[in-house]
Amino acid sequence: MSSNEYNAIIFNGFDKPLEEVKYPLPKKLAKYEILVKVSLSTVCGSDVHTWLGQRPFPTPCILGHEITGQIVEMGNEIKNDFVGNKLEKGDRITWSMTANCGECFFCKVADIPQKCEKLFKYGHVSSNEPPHFTGGFAEYVLLQKGSSIFKIPPELSDEEVAPLMCAGACIMNGFVMAGLGKCDYVLVQGCGALGMYSCVLAKEFGAKKVIAIELIEERLELSKEFGADYVINASKETEETIVEKVMEITKGRGVDYGIEATGQPEVIRSGFKMLRIGGKYIIFGAIYPGDNVTIDSHDLTTKCLQLFGVHNYSPIHLAKTIKLIQKIRGKYPFKKLVGPTFELSKDGVEKALKAQKSYSALRPAIIPK
């Protein structure tokens, strides 16, 4: 295997400049490793939160965990992907954002492998020691034992697949967890990538009507292309008038499901107010330390409400998401979620992070030269 060195963009901590470094590729792969040449990596909101110092994080680190690429080399025990497709050099793939041991309590008993006791999470671990290539903002990624690999169907583009590795599969996990199915109304708070996938999956899972709430008018308009039937611009409303409008739409009953996809804990309170009796509320975005919110325990109990917290997903959820997007790709403009594109360089990655931070893009993309 080549001993040449290849580019990676390093995050060294909050308020420190990104750094462009070169790392060597491994001379030999372990039997369950895969070396992948990155084709595209999209910028998730959590990458920006890390960059802004909003959560503890190991450094130095290569950010990026929504990735597609091509197989360059495989360990000799790698034969098939997660769903049984034969894998070969040159195949386009994506993979679960975590690698897990398969043996601990959370893997075998609790069935929450994303909380594995020996978890390895792409784009979230130090790159200081070999294998170095641990995140998507680089020319290569070295996949670890315990990763679940997915061969990309030929009809799906990299742009359609990359965000599924985090945003899409996380929404799938939450909807399956909460048992979302045929219902009258689903409320989606926030129309970033999480919110757009929420609109799509709500419709595909059987919701008759989807209500989307967002501050940015352009995103509200786009949400209509992803399944939203009613849109409310939160920048023009108060919490009270938003609740009034949703209750009017639902004829005073409230929504069956509420989806928090904003990353802003303050919306949870109003989300609870808009649930019907027996309604369910799923939190996806408000996950960072100190994101505290007060809810009315009287409403929680007397209205028989259910609350679900979702963090990441298991490989089966990514499998389900890829299969669904493959089936419905003609109904929704998934490519509109990705872009603009930036080169893999210190300046390119910084511009991509700033585009995500400013809400001028849903999923900026970084493409190696």
Indicate the pairing of strand 34-42 with strand 363-367: antiparallel
> How far is it, in rounded angstroms, from Cα 134 to Cα 132?
6
Q: Which residue in the block uniquely carries the two structure tokens 């949870």?
A: 268
* Amino acid type, 338: V
Asked if the model's pLDDT at residue 77 lies above 60, the reply is yes
Q: What is the pLDDT of residue 295?
A: 86
CATH code for the structural domain at 5-166+313-367: 3.90.180.10
Going from N- to C-terminal start, the domains of the chain cover 5-166+313-367, 170-309
If we measure between CA atoms, which residue out of 165, 163, 177 comes closest to residue 205? Answer: 177
Averaged over 66-84, what is the pLDDT? 97
Q: What is the pLDDT of residue 227?
A: 98
Structure tokens at 120: 């390895």
Asked if the model's pLDDT at residue 1 lies above 60, the reply is no
Q: What is the pLDDT of residue 283?
A: 96
CB 279: neighbour CB atoms within 10 A?
22
> How far is it, in rounded angstroms, from Cα 363 to Cα 340?
8
Confidence of residue 294 (pLDDT cuts 50, 70, 90): confident
> How far is it, in rounded angstroms, from Cα 254 to Cα 274?
5
If we measure between CA atoms, which residue out of 268, 262, 255, 245 comes closest to residue 208? Answer: 255
Q: What is the pLDDT of residue 4?
A: 82
Return mean pLDDT, the chain. 96
Q: Which residue in the block uniquely carries the two structure tokens 């039997």?
A: 31
Strand runs labelled E in the chain: 5-10, 19-24, 34-42, 66-74, 92-99, 120-121, 140-143, 147-151, 183-189, 207-214, 230-233, 255-260, 275-283, 306-309, 338-343, 363-367
Averaged over 357-367, what is the pLDDT? 96
Q: What is the pLDDT of residue 150?
A: 98
Asked if the model's pLDDT at residue 2 lies above 70, the reply is no
Residue 366's φ and ψ, nearest 5 degrees, are -115, 125
Confidence of residue 3 (pLDDT cuts 50, 70, 90): low
* Amino acid type, 222: L
Name the CATH superfamily housing domain 170-309. Answer: NAD(P)-binding Rossmann-like Domain (3.40.50.720)
> How far is it, in rounded angstroms, from Cα 368 to Cα 141?
12
Per 3-state DSSP, what percentage of the chain is helix, strand, and coil (rounded to 5)?
30, 30, 40
State pTM to two decimals: 0.96
The per-residue pLDDT for range 222-250, each reduced to its tens digit, is: 999 999 999 999 999 999 999 999 999 99
To the nearest 10°, report the CA torsion of 198, 200, 203, 208. Answer: 70
> How far is it, in rounded angstroms, from Cα 345 to Cα 366?
9
Tell me the percentage of the chain whose pLDDT exceeds 90. Answer: 91
The per-residue pLDDT for range 159-217, each reduced to its tens digit, is: 999 999 999 999 999 999 999 999 999 999 999 999 999 999 999 999 999 999 999 99
Confidence of residue 291 (pLDDT cuts 50, 70, 90): confident
Asked if the model's pLDDT at residue 320 lies above 90, the reply is yes
The per-residue pLDDT for range 250-288, each reduced to its tens digit, is: 999 999 999 999 988 899 999 999 999 999 999 999 877
Indicate the pairing of strand 255-260 with strand 338-343: unpaired
Q: What is the pLDDT of residue 286?
A: 83
Asked, colleague to colleague, whether 5-166+313-367 and 170-309 share their fold, the answer is no
Asked if the model's pLDDT at residue 22 lies above 80, the reply is yes
DSSP state of 243: H
